[in-house]
Amino acid sequence: MPHIAIVTDSTSSLSPEDAVREGIAVVPLQVIIGADVHIEGVDVTADMLAEALASFVPVSTSRPTPDDFLAVYRRLADEGADAIVSVHLSRRMSGTLDSAVLAAKQSPVPVTCIDSTQVGVATGFAAGRAAQARDAGADAADVAEAARRAGESSTVLLYVDTLEYLKRGGRVGAAAALIGSALAVKPILTITDGLVVPLERVRTQAKALARVEALAVEAATACADGFDIGVQHLAGLSSATSVAGHLATTLGVETIPVDEVGAAIGAHVGPGMISVTITPR
């Protein structure tokens, strides 16, 4: 049986323990806070990021270089991989996939690069589906297709206190940013065709989170064969835990994981972000 390795990037929100358990290699993005360059998952925390954003310290992110990816691909080949499936955040949000594609051309073994069209735990779920397909004996083409299907079928619902951070980072258009500026409107966003887009406008945080819960229940109950679900936040643990608890009760599941989003995503959504991701099985 061929040995297929799975690679993703740090925006996938996989914990080190989950990555090891599922046999997924993670290539980190860089987060630049002021003049200091940090490696996501190594020396930068969400608390550091939230504090910097609240203090108006400039924050930006940088994709891994092709050399970063090539080093991982070569290591996996040396460890026995015959093929690699590399699953990454939306190409329309980051140049990370482009770096992977460039590195794939020099890899000693074939690499299939997949645009999950998503970000955050949705990309993590896509990489996880690739790992499950690999472990079930699928070939590289079917492993890649499992990841692609998972990303394209995922529903991501985001509440943000303000669109300002997304606007600064170019992740949402200037016209869309206007919806969050008038009359204290609280935007609910989603990801469509690999881009963050406005979904609905709600007047208060409480109503916005209640609407996110309702939309998440709709998406989950439409999954005929079950679903994976996760809640993420940045400096909003109490609200995220409440949302997860309500969803668990309504959907009849024991618990729903709640995780703080990584710094590379957090830099673009800002403190107070709450997201719910549903991926059909």
pLDDT tens sequence across 20-30: 999 999 999 99
pLDDT band at 234 (very low <50, low <70, confident <90, very high): very high
d(CA 16, CA 160): 27
How far apart are alpha carbons 256 and 159 in whole angstroms?
18
Which residue do the tokens 């609200």 mark?
239
Residue ranges of the chain that CATH labels 3.40.50.10170: 4-29+64-152
Q: Would you give the DSSP letter of residue 97?
A: H
Query: Where does CATH 3.30.1180.10 sit in the chain?
Result: 155-280
- Given a contact cutoff of 8 angstroms between Cβ atoms, the answer to whether 43 and 263 are in contact is no
Helix/strand number for the chain, H first, E second: 11, 13
Report the CATH fold assignment for 4-29+64-152: Rossmann fold (3.40.50)
Residues 87/114, Cβ–Cβ less than 8 Å: yes
**pLDDT of 184-201, one tens digit each?**
678 899 999 999 888 988
Q: Does position 176 have pLDDT exceeding 70, yes or no? A: no
Partners of 86 in the β-ladder: 7, 113
Tens-place pLDDT, residues 38-63: 998 888 887 888 888 888 888 889 99
**Architecture field, domain 155-280:** 2-Layer Sandwich (3.30)
